[in-house]
Amino acid sequence: MAGSGGRDRAVKLAVRDVRIGYRERRNGRFFAAVQNLSFEIKDNEFIAIVGPSGCGKTTFLSAVAGLIEIASGSLELNGHAIQGPGPDRSLVFQQHSLFPWRTVTANVGFGLEAQGRLDEHGRRRVSDLIELVGLNGKEGKYPRELSGGMSQRVNLARALATDPDLLLLDEPFAALDAQTREVMQEELTRVWQADSASGGKTALFITHDVPEAVYLADRVLVFSASPGRLVESVDIDLPRPRDPGVKRSKEFAELNDHVLGLVMQQAAISRGGAR
Ligand SMILES: Nc1ncnc2c1ncn2[C@@H]1O[C@H](COP(=O)(O)OP(=O)(O)OP(=O)(O)O)[C@@H](O)[C@H]1O
Ligand SMILES: [Mg+2]
């Protein structure tokens, strides 16, 4: 299928026959959370990952973030094996992970500060991002004074501030109410489109919400029941820029049904106690 236009772009992330797991405490046995996982992600692609609970999505994202090691296979970012965390990647989690003692501005600027880049240019980037995510006027507020949606905007701005090559998002909107969630999806699309124009970013977005995956992504990767591997990569050929109206189109409904069917199938295998 054409549309995502990723064919001739450079490979950003190469995942080859990856196996990741945990050593069980009680018997020292290795438990594979992800196995035989292979795919490639191109520069600038927005990738959504869906799959049943416990299939290894967070495990995989943690390995890409460099927080855990892979057991076998290869995981390469820009042609180099991932060996630990780095400034080329930013993470946004479901739970708010803001520093409670820092204001909005200081939270957004955290990464730049840690990298010694909070100079005049850095400070301008921080205020531009605060504006981009719609938080003007909230600069001096502390996390406890923000709503859930606002906190996730701060998280998003903070993740974007250091201009990461790869943005890693693990169910960033899961804790939000349905309405705020829709607003945040639109915001992310808008911010994405605005920020990609200047830099060129690649994103990995985990979600349980299939319409959210289809709306946001260039490609949806469906993971199997545990241990996670790729079941199907679904190209989302919906034109960009997208707006919520696209969710009412026939094309959207077809893509959504297709992905949902695959996820339900895997969820049934999961429930069947395949392991
Ligand atoms: N730190 C850990 N130690 C041991 N096992 C773990 C650890 N983290 C995850 N697991 C196990 O690895 C498997 C995959 O978990 P993971 O959190 O990656 O799934 P997930 O797809 O993100 O699930 P969900 O959709 O519910 O967030 C599960 O069986 C889980 O119990
Ligand atoms: Mg998870």
Which pLDDT score, from 0 to 100, does residue 109 have? Answer: 96
Ligand 2 centre distance from Cα of residue 124 (Å): 34
d(C-alpha 261, C-alpha 67), whole Å: 32
- Closest atom of ligand 1 to CA, residue 61: 18
Q: How many domains does the chain have?
A: 1
| Nearest protein CA to atom 23 of ligand 1, as residue | 54
Query: Strands across the sheet with 72-77, in order?
Result: 30-42, 11-23, 72-77, 80-81
In a domain, residue 259? The reply is yes
Mutating to test ligand 1, I would choose from 23, 57, 94 the residue with most ligand atoms within 8 A of its C-beta, which is 57
Mutating to test ligand 1, I would choose from 25, 35, 55, 222 the residue with most ligand atoms within 8 A of its C-beta, which is 55
Which pLDDT score, from 0 to 100, does residue 1 have? Answer: 40
Give the domain range for residue 36. 3-87+212-270
Ligand 1 neighbour 22 (Cβ under 6 A):
yes
d(C-alpha 186, C-alpha 46), whole Å: 14
The tens place of each residue's pLDDT in the chain, 275 residues long, gives 434 444 568 899 999 999 999 998 899 999 999 999 999 999 989 999 999 999 999 999 999 999 999 999 999 999 999 999 998 999 988 776 899 999 999 999 999 999 999 999 999 999 988 988 889 999 999 999 999 888 988 998 898 888 888 999 999 988 888 888 888 888 888 777 776 655 567 999 999 999 999 999 999 999 999 999 999 999 999 998 888 899 999 999 999 999 999 999 999 999 886 44
d(C-alpha 236, C-alpha 264), whole Å: 19
Ligand 1 neighbour 227 (Cβ under 6 A):
no
Q: Collect residues with CB below 5 Å from ion ligand 2.
A: 57-58
In a domain, residue 242? The reply is yes
In a domain, residue 129? The reply is no
Which pLDDT score, from 0 to 100, does residue 154 have? Answer: 93
Q: Contact at 8 Å (CB) between 64 and 204? A: yes
For residue 220, list its beta bridge partners: 48, 234
Which pLDDT score, from 0 to 100, does residue 145 have? Answer: 95
Q: Contact at 8 Å (CB) between 84 and 65? A: no
Ligand 1 neighbour 226 (Cβ under 6 A):
yes
Length, in residues, of the chain: 275
Q: Contact at 8 Å (CB) between 173 and 213? A: no
Which pLDDT score, from 0 to 100, does residue 200 have? Answer: 63
For residue 131, list its beta bridge partners: none
Which pLDDT score, from 0 to 100, does residue 156 have? Answer: 87
Angle at 215 between CA 234 and CA 193, to 5 degrees: 105
Check: pTM over 0.75? Answer yes or no.
Answer: yes
Ligand 1 neighbour 34 (Cβ under 6 A):
no
Ligand 1 neighbour 59 (Cβ under 6 A):
yes
Which pLDDT score, from 0 to 100, does residue 7 have? Answer: 55
In a domain, residue 203? The reply is no
Ligand 1 neighbour 53 (Cβ under 6 A):
yes
Q: What is the tally of helices (H) and strands (E) in the chain?
A: 8, 10
Ligand 1 centre distance from Cα of residue 206 (Å): 13
> Phi, psi at residue 134, to the nearest 5°?
75, 35
d(C-alpha 123, C-alpha 222), whole Å: 39
In a domain, residue 22? The reply is yes
What contacts 240, CB < 8 A, 6 or more positions away?
Answer: 193
The CATH number linked to 247 is 3.40.50.300
In a domain, residue 111? The reply is no
Written as one letter, the residue type at 63 is A
Ligand 1 neighbour 55 (Cβ under 6 A):
yes
In a domain, residue 120? The reply is no
d(C-alpha 187, C-alpha 19), whole Å: 34
In a domain, residue 244? The reply is yes
Nearest ligand to the C-alpha of residue 226? 1
Which pLDDT score, from 0 to 100, does residue 195 have? Answer: 67
| Residue carrying the six token digits 């939000």 | 176
Which pLDDT score, from 0 to 100, does residue 4 have? Answer: 45
Closest to 204 in 3D by CA, of 239, 161, 255, 169: 169
